[in-house]
Amino acid sequence: MAQWARPALRALGLWGPSGELAWARRLRSTVGRPPSCPSAGVSSVSGNGGDSAKEKLSLQDVAELILTRACKRVVVMVGAGISTPSGIPDFRSPGTGFYSSFQHCDVPYPEAIFELTFFLHNPTPFLTWAKKMYPGNYRPNVIHYFLRLLEDKGLLLRLYTQNIDGLERAAGIPASKLVEAHGSFASATCTVCRRATQMEGFWEAVMEDKVPRCAVCTGLVKPDIVFFGEALPQRFLLHVVDFPTADLLLILGTSLQVEPFASLSEAVRSSVPRVFMNQEAAGSLAWHSRRKDVLQLGELVDSVDRLVALLGWTEELKDLVQRETGQLSGQDR
């Protein structure tokens, strides 16, 4: 967590003096004891009132909560998994992830391309990767448009994304509803004089396999994505307000490995349903699940399609995708 964030979080009781999120510390203290999960006024699945295993929510229950507007302040956390259907590899999958593709490049280890000190010393590996991420190379997929549909229906409180590909923006999620926790390629800054740089010049250099330089001081230009060790964007602090007021948390396509983003999954109240859709269980949802957790494991598009069908939104989503992809295609002509 960035140093500047700690005073605000500590004042709200969310950051402890030892330098960790207070609710994450409390979570560890409960391991080994039965968790306490107060009711949120939702009927149990079985109705027996005593067997917590039978009271677990299902995806159908979550759909009913959304349709009846019992859940209408939805916070969403997403990772690289929502972009793989668009053709963008994730980072960690063996053999196919971005990190695997850098194993034979001029880097000490794959993650080094996102370390500021290495970038300043040798920006070429990162710029080679950035060239692949050029806006327009990839398009939003049905998962992005499902999130857009949540916004169109007035259900999306905020979308927190680890992705820097900008596909949430391209799908029409308003900037006011979007927290790009790890920054984006939407802007760039000189690493020397700190002046903002025109993105046209940045991409022109990158596409020509050149190192982008500042027009004023000739310093190295870096896109405003968060490298390891850098401070997170100030908008990330919105989680202090958003997560305590959310009444449903959707977590899609993230391995919940990168902090402090991963720990946000514990920031909603224990009475709030959490729906985790991913290839496999991850994070605290794998080893410390709550009664109102729903784990939908497998192909992410299939899982989203299932929820959309339970909501009765299948045709509406198809219409949105056709309308928006037609607009995107038209922009290329």
Binding-site sequence positions for Zn(2+): 190, 193, 214, 217
Do you find a cis peptide bond into 38, omega within 30 degrees of 0?
no
Q: Of 144, 182, 239, 288, which one is the catalytic site residue? A: 182
CA atoms within 13 A on the CB side of 170: 28
> Which strand ranges, in their side-by-side order, compose the sheet holding 221-225?
196-197, 183-190, 221-225
Which CA distances in Å does 165 have to 64, 92, 199, 232, 324? 32, 16, 15, 17, 18
Dihedral sign (CA 227, 233, 238, 242)? negative
Beta carbons within 8 Å of 106's beta carbon, 6+ residues apart: 122, 124, 125
Q: Which of 74, 263, 54 is nearest to 154 (CA)?
A: 74
For 217, other C-beta atoms within 10 Å of its C-beta total 13
288 is catalytic: no
How large is the angle between the packed helices 142-152 and 314-331, nearest 10 degrees? 110
Six token digits for residue 256: 């919940």
Residue ranges for the binding site?
A: 80-84, 90-92, 162-165, 190, 193, 214, 217, 254-255, 278-280
Instruction: Tell me the C-alpha distance between 173 and 138, whole Å.
Output: 16
Tell me which residues are annotated as active site: 182
